[in-house]
Structure 1
Amino acid sequence: MGLWNRWLLFVLLVGLNVVCQDYDNEATNEIFEYEIEEETPPQVPPPPIPQPPDYGDPYMLYPLQCAPECFCPMSYPLAMYCDHRKLKVVPNIPRQIRHLYIQFNDIEALTAAPFANATSLREINLSHNSLKSSLVDRNVFAKLKDLLQLHLEYNELEEVPPSLPKTLQRLFLGFNKISKLPADALQGLASITVLDLCNNRLTDAGIKGKTLSSLKSLMQINICGNKLRSMPSDLPPSVLQLSLENNSIASIPDGYFKKTPQLMSLRVSHNKLRTVPYKVFNLSSLMELNLGHNQLSKTFYIPTALEHLYLNHNEFLDLNVSLMCPSVDITKPNLLTYIRIDNNRLKGPLDFYAYTCFPRIRVVFYGEQKKAEVIEKKTIPPRRINPRRKLDKTRGGGDSKSD
């Protein structure tokens, strides 16, 4: 082997040894720390900490209490249920209570003492008791500055309780013995939206004056089942629903509803109406009109917005659709969808022109009609002639005194 070849072999062997030696050092003698990216787990938000319901300031400020005679559910500790417990007095009401249900008991008197701390009350239901006006303290509700709803129906009240809070929005006084509404009975109740006076003893004289017109927010007023002979006067323009069923109203003045242009529902069934002015119901918002159980016989104008019309149990011989709908406007069709005309004296079906005038009509409840009245002719029995008297006359003699 020549010198050059020996040198080349030496270099290759030395290089190979160095390479092998470096590899061995890495494997056996040294530990290399590699920078490995740590896998971060997905960010899951921590579970929310349960929070108590937001019952407002009373819940946060006062300890939860409940009258021993009543029940306050843990799910809503601001309500206290005292109904159907044969109570004769109102128990002390804890400070946090907002809704008091104490109906169907035997309570006759109301004093201010049980309500002294209940300044957060928003709703009270005292219906179906035996409350008497003479036993109700004058200022029993005066300090309840947050009261919104008060149920006093089905009692023996003879007048509206005085000093009602100005925040009151819904007042229910049906099924009592109230015969009049003095001028100051509802004074200051500018927030009232619903007033129920059904089934009392109200007369025309009992609601005269500005008693109702002062209720600037009134939207629904119910005076059904009273002793009215005429439509109540001076209603506020805010009224949307007027219920006057079961009275003795005999007429509706022409232009009566000019003061209530937003009226949407009118119920005057079970009265004594014989006729109404032709365009008295010409209201742009009227959707429901109930005139059932009256004595009407002449048709009247149907406003465009009206959807439900009740004319059942009247005296109509026919329904003149041309008067009900004098013109047809394709761009603004009549919206009537339901009409009830049973128990009248109609002799035939509704004029087919009605479907042109009221293109959206879906139900015509014709039902049974009243039967024609049969006048019984009384037969006059023949005059009875005394035979002896006839015999005397044939003989030319005078009447016998014995006759």
Structure 2
Amino acid sequence: MKTVRPTLLLLLFMPLTQPAPPAQQDSRAVYESEYGADNFEETLYYYEDNYQDGKHIKEDVPMIIPENSFQLQRDDTATPLPPKKENDEMPTCLLCVCLSGSVYCEEIDIDTVPPLPKESAYLYARFNKIKKLTAKDFADIPNLRRLDFTGNLIEEIEDGTFSKLSLLEELSLAENQLLKLPALPPKLILFNAKHNKIKSRGIKASTFKKLNKLSFLYLDHNALESVPPNLPESLRIIHLQFNNITSITDDTFCKSNDTRYIRDRVEEIRLEGNPIDLGKHPNSFICLKRLPIGSYF
């Protein structure tokens, strides 16, 4: 009997053995570093196209899915996450429209001033149901330049509501229910409070006295019995039509003790719709370039 040589046995069994595969790594970073990002995506689509028919699925070859690319299966039962809040002002900017320092809260039936982003410069809150303005509404918003509350239900404005708004230039309180005016900020250029219920006793003697930049004053369609006192020299437009004004004096617009005084900035004074005969007060307009609009007989 011949002895089988060990070399022959080794040659017979060699085809039956294969080298063990290297430890598999499913890290996208490693794969992309070796083969590139494009090859990675092609490999992913290859697995999806060729290993989902039930015949070629291999347990030892897991599918590699790139992070944050897409979801293979949607879970309809999952509760959606609430929107991330960048700051405390986000709810207001969901309710209103915030755009480059302007906040638009028009016709949304709010009854109070919403919390505003601190960088707000313009607020448009027209045609809502706001009944009161308070000092805390604008306490932390020092950059406001324009406030518009036209068409609300405002009956009361707390003292000091506008005291910290040193940059405020335009304030509209038109078409509300006001009986009196609050203290106004010093840099106002335009003030509009037409179509309210303001009476003369609701305007203090100092209300307009220090407003040296005020150019446009709209107080028409109220219940004023007289022209407000101490109107600033800066005024260009004064609307007082359709009130209850019955008389004016030589010092209402001019200075009775200075015949050379000219009020040259005034472009328009409207007094029509008042129970006053302007023709009886000729000395009241001697300093004006244009006569007030109204009845003279």
For Structure 1 versus Structure 2, the TM-score category normalised by the shorter chain is 0.5 to 0.7
- Alignment of 1:184 with 2:202, yes or no, is no
Task: Indicate which of 238, 241, 244 corresponds to 1:221.
Answer: 238
Cα separation, 2, equivalents of 1:243 and 1:197:
10
Alpha-carbon spacing, 1:145–1:84, altered in 2? closer, same or farther (3 Å): same
Which string of whole-angstrom CA distances, capped at 9 and with x for unpartnered residues, describes residues 39-75 of structure 1? xxxxxxxxxxxxxxxxxxxxxxxx99652321113xx
Task: Report how far residue 91 of structure 1 moved.
Answer: 0.6
AA paired with 1:230?
Answer: S
Aligned-residue offset at 1:230: 2.9
**Which stretch shifts more, 236-245 or 175-184?**
236-245
Matches of 2:207 and 2:96 in 1, distance apart?
32
1:321-360 correspondence to structure 2 within 5 Å? none
In structure 1, the partner of 2:220 is 198
Q: Which residue of 247, 270, 285 corresponds with 1:257?
A: 285
Does the 8 A contact of 2:252 with 2:284 survive in 1? no
1:243 alignment counterpart: 270
User: Does structure 2 conserve the Cα–Cα contact (< 8 Å) formed by 1:92 and 1:113?
Assistant: no
Partner of 1:211, secondary structure, is coil
Q: Which has the higher contact order (CA 8 A, sep 6+)?
A: 2
**Residue pair 1:94, 1:117 contacting (<8 A) in 2 also:** no
**Structure 2 matches for 1:306-385, cutoff 5 A?**
none
Give the partner amino acid of 1:235.
F
Q: Which amino acid aligns with 1:241?
A: E
Are residues 1:108 and 2:126 paired? no
Judging changes above 3 Å, is the alpha-carbon distance between structure 1 residues 138 and 257 closer, same or farther for their aligned structure 2 residues?
same
SS state of the match for residue 286, structure 2? helix
Residue pair 2:89, 2:115 contacting (<8 A) in 1 also: no
Match for 1:172 among 183, 187, 192? 192
**Superposed displacement of residue 159, structure 1:** 0.9
1:151 aligns with 2:172: yes
Instruction: State the distance in 2 between where 1:150 and 1:225 align.
Output: 21
TM-score by length of 1: 0.46
Q: Residue type of the partner of 2:196? A: N
Report % sequence identity. Answer: 27
Match for residue 127 of structure 1?
Answer: 150
Could you tell me which residue of structure 2 aligns to residue 71 of structure 1? 97
User: What secondary structure sits across from 1:131 in the alignment?
Assistant: coil
On the 8 A contact 2:253/2:284 being kept in 1, the answer is no
Query: 1:259 is paired with a residue of what secondary structure?
Result: coil
1:346-376 per-residue CA deviation (whole Å, 9 max, x = no partner) reads xxxxxxxxxxxxxxxxxxxxxxxxxxxxxxx
Deviation of 1:231 after TM superposition, in Å, equals: 4.1
Q: 1:131 to 1:150 in 2, by over 3 A?
A: same
Give distance in 2, aligned partners of 1:257 and 1:186: 20
Query: Quick one: which of 120, 124, 138 aligns to 1:97?
Result: 120
Unaligned runs of at least 5 residues, structure 1: 1-62, 275-403
CA contact (8 A) 1:64 1:96 kept: no
Q: Is the 8 A contact 2:177 2:197 kept in 1?
A: yes
**RMSD value, Cα:** 2.1
Q: Which amino acid aligns with 1:255?
A: N
CA distance in 1, matches of 2:133, 2:143: 18
**Are 1:153 and 1:173, in contact at CA under 8 Å, matched by a contact in 2?**
yes
Shift of residue 78, structure 1, vs aligned partner: 1.1
Aligned residues: 196
Distance of 1:241 and 1:137 partners within structure 2: 32
The one-letter amino acid paired with 1:176 is N
The code of the aligned residue for 2:95 comes to E
User: How much does 1:251 deviate?
Assistant: 3.4
Q: For the pair shown, which has the larger CA radius of gyration, 1 or 2?
A: 1
What's the CA shift for 1:153?
0.6
Native 8 Å contact 2:253 2:285 kept in 1: no
Distance 1:235 1:254 in 2: 12
Instruction: State how far apart, in whole Å, the 2-side matches of 1:71 and 1:64 are.
Output: 15
Matched, 1:234 2:252: yes
Partner residue, 2:84: none
